[in-house]
Amino acid sequence: MTAEFTLRLGKLRQRLQDQEQQALLVFSLDHLRYLCNYSGEAAYGIVTLDQVFLITDYRFIEQAEAECFECQLICRNRDQQSLGQAIRQVLDTQRISKLLFEAAHINLQMWSGIAQELSGISCTSSTGLVEELRKTKDAWETAQIRQAAAIADQALHDCMPLLCLGVSERDFALELEYRMQILGSDGLSFPSIVGFGARSALPHCIPSSKTLAAGDLIVIDFGAVVHGYRSDMTRSFVAGKASVQQRNIYHTVQQAQQAALASLHAGQLATITSAAASEVLQASEFSAYTSTGLGHGLGIQLHEQPFISPVCQDTLQANYVVTIEPGIYIPGYGGVRIEDDVLIQTDGYSFITHAPKIFELEI
């Protein structure tokens, strides 16, 4: 892992130099995990052109000592020193006069208190600096996402026998989540989405006491976590033999996903991949029941850049990990979504999620 953190910090420092800045004040805990492996809470980072400082307190100092890479740790006494004073002390000792700070990851009230202590220092708000680096996954990151996806694949396989008439959305979700953690997931990628019947048309359906009935459409969206990296997969089913309409909905979504995947490769515009799926959906009889968002980046956060949509200006690059998840959602009737995690490659893509796409369940 040491080489990966060295490379990430090197890329960030080059960007600081390009912007003629001396340091970045990091407020995002996700960014601290990405830059120095810290997975705790209540911490703030300062990345200079040659050092990294992590400011925390007694509750997390031992964790930081065990986890952090290339960090000088500062244990702040919160009763005697404000956060602004602690930051100022580091900046003064390092003779920092030009500072970027992560404006998107701090509220105005908190920044106002810090800024009062930073008089005489040029503070410039910055957005997207680390996020841009995180789009491209290194080999270690991809391996963690693959392991998380493998856990989710196996958990769904193990829980499929529980998907029987009379089971509730909530009970199935709980069993699926428990199984992922038994298999080694570090918690949940996100609260699992399970919807039966008409409730499958809710894209973010919160599992309820609704029980599975014959002929119900089923949407299950879930993910595992390994070393802070997440998977995200959706599979859709029907309880028993599908009606003509249900089969047409599923086939349309399947074709839309295949069209989007066929367009994927490094150098492709995100708008073109989005349009490939949209053309299939809009040409169908279900065009009024689709959404514009096709997918998103995946990593330490569930939803990372790039967000694949008609307005995304990104050019997709090799080693981006993204989801491709078209769907059709008919209120009062039901919905279908198929979602996979893929690694973009120079000449195409490779699947990270591998659970079979079986529509009709023998119930």
Interaxial angle between packed helices 139-159 and 169-182, expressed in degrees from 0 to 180 and rounded to the nearest 10: 130
Are 35 and 154 within one domain?
no
Terminal Cα-to-Cα distance of the chain (whole angstroms): 47
Nearest to 47 by CA among 10, 88, 1: 10
List, for residues 234-263, the tens digit of each pLDDT value: 999 999 999 999 999 999 999 999 999 999
Are 64 and 107 within one domain?
yes
Q: What's the angle, vertex CA 81, arms to CA 76 and CA 86, rounded to 5? A: 65
Nearest to 60 by CA among 45, 46, 70, 47: 45
Are 35 and 94 within one domain?
yes
Are 254 and 234 within one domain?
yes
Are 299 and 255 within one domain?
yes
Are 318 and 182 within one domain?
yes
Are 49 and 184 within one domain?
no
Nearest to 236 by CA among 210, 217, 222: 217
* Domain residue limits at 19: 2-134
Q: What's the angle, vertex CA 101, arms to CA 98 and CA 104, rounded to 5? A: 155
CATH number at residue 92: 3.40.350.10
Are 189 and 330 within one domain?
yes
Nearest to 222 by CA among 240, 242, 236: 236
Q: Which of 134, 158, 181 is the last residue of a domain?
A: 134
Are 103 and 209 within one domain?
no
CATH number at residue 181: 3.90.230.10
pLDDT at 149 (0 to 100): 99
Q: Which of 93, 109, 134 is the last residue of a domain?
A: 134
Are 27 and 169 within one domain?
no
pLDDT tens digits, the chain, 363 residues: what are they? 689 999 999 999 999 999 999 999 999 999 999 999 999 999 999 999 999 999 999 999 999 999 998 899 999 999 999 999 999 999 999 999 999 999 999 999 999 999 999 999 999 999 999 999 999 999 999 999 999 999 999 999 999 999 999 999 999 999 999 999 999 999 999 999 999 999 999 999 999 999 999 999 999 999 999 999 999 999 999 999 999 999 999 999 999 999 999 999 999 999 999 999 999 999 999 999 998 899 999 999 999 999 999 999 999 999 999 999 999 999 999 999 999 999 999 999 999 999 999 999 998
Q: How many domains does the chain have?
A: 2
Are 228 and 289 within one domain?
yes
The type of residue at 165 is L
Are 177 and 118 within one domain?
no
Q: Which of 134, 150, 175 is the last residue of a domain?
A: 134
